[in-house]
Amino acid sequence: MPQSGCRARLVYADCAPAASLFRRMIRLRKYLLPEGGKFYKANLHCHTTISDGDLTDKELKKAYKEQGYSVVAFTDHDICVSHHELTDKDFVALTAYEADISNWIVDDSNFVRCYHFNCYATTDGDGYSTVPKPGYGSIDAINDYISRLRDAGYIVCYNHPNWSLQTFEDYGGLKGLFAMEIFNYSAMLDGIDANHEMPYDALLRGGNRLFCVATDDNHNRSPFSHPLCDSFGGFTMIKTDSLSYGSIIESLTKGDFYASMGPEIHSLYTEDGNLCIKCSGVRSIHMTTGGRRTEVARVHDGETLSEARFYIDPKDVYVRVQITDNSGRRANTNAYFIDEIL
């Protein structure tokens, strides 16, 4: 299964028969987020009373639909339960589970290092079960586990490395992931650094081609009205032609989505050797690359901008964009590798 896959559409800005080949070539536009389709709001990390959440799956569906979500992945710990009966014309329940591989060599659980992986079933149905887990120590055993998960019909996401107390020594050698969490709302409310851009870039710079998601990881210990409620803070916007299980999974595997805490990305494309983004009003738009070179568009406090155009150097290896609004909330695109977009 492709690990990078930006679905690209080619559009000529000037396709008149008389246009010169040169003019057509320099105006070539390639959409990184699909031009067509519709964005659907998703929470891809969620716990219910089946494991350690305080609300049932039906209660969570109702609450998330009321907040404008169309997709929820129910990722209870180490148990895979299909919730396909919750799927309707306005809502898709993804079959999934969160696997926990912990290093129990310490007595105090506050110091236990762990791998947490969200495993998303690629088809709807009741035939999925958990895959036997290895111990904590060997990265080769962890990668073999990821491979076995994929063989069993899952796509695998690496979760909250900071909350897991992991360092590059733990995650730097991971292979076969489709994505990792670049933001985890529950971890932020725990007072832990929930911004995982550094691990994401470390994996990318190590040769991995994977996407990034933002999630809630909600357990709902606090009511929805409470400031410590861990729902509705991190989400993934998936763009697809229709709201169905298959189309959502297809868009996830292709990377047709972005991660957000609030800001919206309307379009993302390359044109004439530049990376172009249009978005909701934000304070800054920042392009990160595989090296030290960056480009930034930024305005004064209280002002906003809603688009930017950045030069792509063929030596950049990859590019990705972060937008930040005046409240400090961010949205992140996936990373796009230069050999695929130019």
Statement to judge: residues 55 and 20 lie in one domain: no
Q: Residue 2: what pLDDT? A: 41
Residues 324 and 197 in one domain: no
Q: Are residues 116 and 146 in the same domain?
A: yes
Pairing label, strands 257-260, 235-240:
antiparallel
Report how far residue 162's alpha carbon sits from residue 187's, in angstroms, rounded to the nearest whole number: 9
Are residues 188 and 138 part of one domain? yes
Residues 66 and 23 grouped into a single domain? no
Structural domain span for residue 308: 1-31+264-342
- Report pLDDT for 127: 85
| Residues 125/144, Cβ–Cβ less than 8 Å | no
Cα gap 55→49, rounded to integer Å: 6
End of a domain among 231, 261, 291?
261
Residues 79 and 224 grouped into a single domain: yes
CATH number of the domain that residue 330 is part of: 2.60.40
pLDDT at 126: 85
Do 169 and 309 lie in a common domain? no
pLDDT value for 89 = 96
Q: Look up residue 134 and give its two tokens.
A: 């290895």
Task: Kindly state whether residues 182 and 120 are assigned to the same domain.
Answer: yes
Both 300 and 316 in one domain: the answer is: yes
Q: What is the pLDDT of residue 27?
A: 66
pLDDT of 14 reads 46
Spatial separation of the C-alpha atoms in residues 233 and 185, rounded to whole Å: 6
Measured at the CA of 164, the angle between CA 67 and CA 150, to 5 degrees, comes to 75
In the prediction, which pLDDT does 4 show? 41
**pTM of structure:** 0.91
- DSSP letters of 185-239? HHHHHTTS--B-HHHHHHHHHTT---EEEEE--B---S-TTSTT--SSSSEEEEE
Domain boundary among 228, 261, 294: 261
Say if strands 235-240 and 305-311 run parallel, antiparallel, or are unpaired: unpaired
pLDDT tens per residue across all 342 residues of the chain:
444 443 333 333 444 454 454 445 446 899 999 999 999 999 999 999 999 999 999 999 999 999 999 999 999 999 999 999 999 999 999 999 999 999 988 889 899 999 999 999 999 988 899 999 999 999 999 999 999 999 999 999 999 999 999 999 999 999 999 999 999 999 999 999 999 999 999 999 999 999 999 999 999 999 999 999 999 999 999 999 999 999 999 999 999 999 999 999 999 999 999 999 999 999 999 999 999 999 999 999 889 999 999 999 999 999 999 999 999 999 999 999 999 998
Structural domain ending residue among the three candidates 217, 245, 261: 261
* Number of domain units in the chain: 2
How high is the pLDDT of residue 17? 52
CA dist., res. 54 & res. 284, Å (int): 37
Q: How far apart are CA 204 and CA 259, in angstroms?
A: 17
Whether residues 16 and 65 fall in one domain: no
The answer to whether residues 285 and 221 belong to one domain is no
Task: DSSP letter for 111, please.
Answer: G
CB under 8 Å to 16, separation ≥6 — which residues? none
In one letter, which amino acid is 319? Answer: V
pLDDT of residue 13: 40
Return the SS3 of 137.
Answer: coil
Distance CA 120, CA 96 (A): 4
How far is the C-alpha of 45 from the C-alpha of 267, rounded, in Å?
25
Q: Are strands 179-184 and 211-215 parallel, antiparallel or unpaired?
A: parallel
* CA angle (269, 270, 271) in 5-degree steps: 120
Task: Check which CATH number belongs to the domain holding 72 and give it.
Answer: 3.20.20.140
Residues 303 and 234 occupy one common structural domain: no
- Looking at the DSSP bridge assignments, the partners of residue 341 are none
Distance spanning both ends of the chain, measured CA to CA? 22
